[in-house]
Every structure is written in C-alpha cells, then in structure tokens.
Amino acid sequence: GAGVSQSPSNKVTEKGKDVELRCDPISGHTALYWYRQSLGQGLEFLIYFQGNSAPDKSGLPSDRFSAERTGGSVSTLTIQRTQQEDSAVYLCASSRDVGSGANVLTFGAGSRLTVL
Amino acid sequence: AQSVAQPEDQVNVAEGNPLTVKCTYSVSGNPYLFWYVQYPNRGLQFLLKYITGDNLVKGSYGFEAEFNKSQTSFHLKKPSALVSDSALYFCAVRDENTGNQFYFGTGTSLTVIP
C-alpha cells in the first residue's frame, strides 16, 4: 500500500481482556518495528522483524506481550490480560532492508489503546 | 550504550523567529541521525537524516540540521518559524555497528506563538 496502515485506530478494553493490534507495512518493506508511546513519554521500542530472521524481542515489557509477522508482511501485536499501564499509543513502522543506514522508518498513524 | 537526549521538553518561539530544537547522541560507532515530527493524533513523519558527507542537512518544510561530531549533537533548526510548525519533534540515532535499532529521544514539544 501507499503507507503503513494500522488498525484499530482506537481500542477501549476492560482490564484483563486480550487485544490484538494490526500493522500492514508498505509493500516491499522487509523491516517492521513496533513502538509504544505513552502520554508524555518518548518512543519505547518493543519488537523488530527483519525478513525471515528471528525477531528482536528485547523491548517487550512482559510475557503478556507478543507479536508475529505472517508471510513477511502483516504483523499482529497481542497483549494478553491487559493492565491499565498498557494504555498507550502503539506505533508500527516499516523500512526497506535496514542493512543500509540510509533507509528511514515510515510510521503508521498508531493504535490508541485505553484499558479501563 | 546507545542513546539520544533531547534536553528540552518544551520550546516556545515567536512566529518569524529562528528556532532550534536540541539533540545529542551517544553511539559506539558512526551515527546515522534522523529527525521526525509528530502532529496531533498522527504518526511520526520523517523530516531529514544525516548519514555521511556534508554536516548541514536540509529537509522537509524548510528545516535543516547540523551534525557536530565533536559535540555529538544534531540540532534541528529553521530560520523562520511558522505557527504550523507547532508539533512534537523526535530525534533518533542508529549505530552503524548495531545496525537495526533506532534509538529515539523523549521528544520536544515546539510551540510557535503568533
């Protein structure tokens, strides 16, 4: 597609429920990142996918968080048993092969999660 | 460890005046440096980048940034601020040695006063 598409744009859920956030990257972009942006905070790295390589999960805050990327394209970030502190905007970004430092990240508009 | 610092949470400037948003970084190898802007309820948009070559980089919307290796800085500048420049600005760095990770600063909120 023309840009990075994220859905839903807004999600309100109750504490303890599971949520899934979807990211559709730009066609041909092999690298995909998830970040979390909390109110008044910067961007917190969550997870990174590059082609068929094992993902870099070093930023996932707990085992309630997981992500997958099917067929090297669409990615789903899953948060199980949501907590109020999970409330944030979840940003997805994609890039061409990051082997070249010149490549930049293109961000989606984000999914705003509110846990009541 | 790799990191980015944006020392000012908030910058206010009068319309028509020059603006500067500060960024310093720490990496082990040569840095790749980026600036992004975020408008309300939007994702981040790429403004400009420094990879190699000329230390003064020009980007979108009249913005420019100067890479200063000795001061490990990459400040964002614009000669004449517009009210529409009001937004949240993020500096980011990639380390040529670690490659994959982008490290973002905490952001600077710019307000241009009419």
Q: Is the pLDDT of residue B105 over 60?
A: yes
Compare all CA atoms of chain B with the CA of A6 and give the residue at the minimum distance: B43
Task: Please say whether the beta carbons of B59 and B76 come within 8 A.
Answer: no
pLDDT per position as a tens digit, B1-50: 788 999 999 999 999 999 999 999 998 888 899 999 999 878 899 999 99
User: Across the A/B interface, how many CB contacts are shorter than 8 Å?
Assistant: 58
Compute the CA torsion angle A45, A19, A112, A43 (nearest 10 deg).
Answer: -10
Place of tokens 């206010």: B12
Q: Work out the burial of residue A58: count CB atoms within 10 Å of its CB; fewer than 13 is exposed, 13-18 middle, 19 or more buried.
A: exposed
Residues of B in contact with A45 (CB under 8 A): 101-104
End-to-end Cα separation, chain A, in angstroms: 33
Candidates B100, B103, B108: best to mutate against A (most CBs of A within 10 A) is B100
Alpha-carbon gap, residue A86 to A109, rounded angstroms: 18
- pLDDT over 90, % of chain A: 68
Compare all CA atoms of chain B with the CA of A91 and give the residue at the minimum distance: B43
Average pLDDT taken over every residue of chain A:
91
3-class DSSP state for residue B85?
helix
Task: Please say whether the beta carbons of A89 and A75 come within 8 A.
Answer: no
- What pLDDT was estimated at residue B5? 94
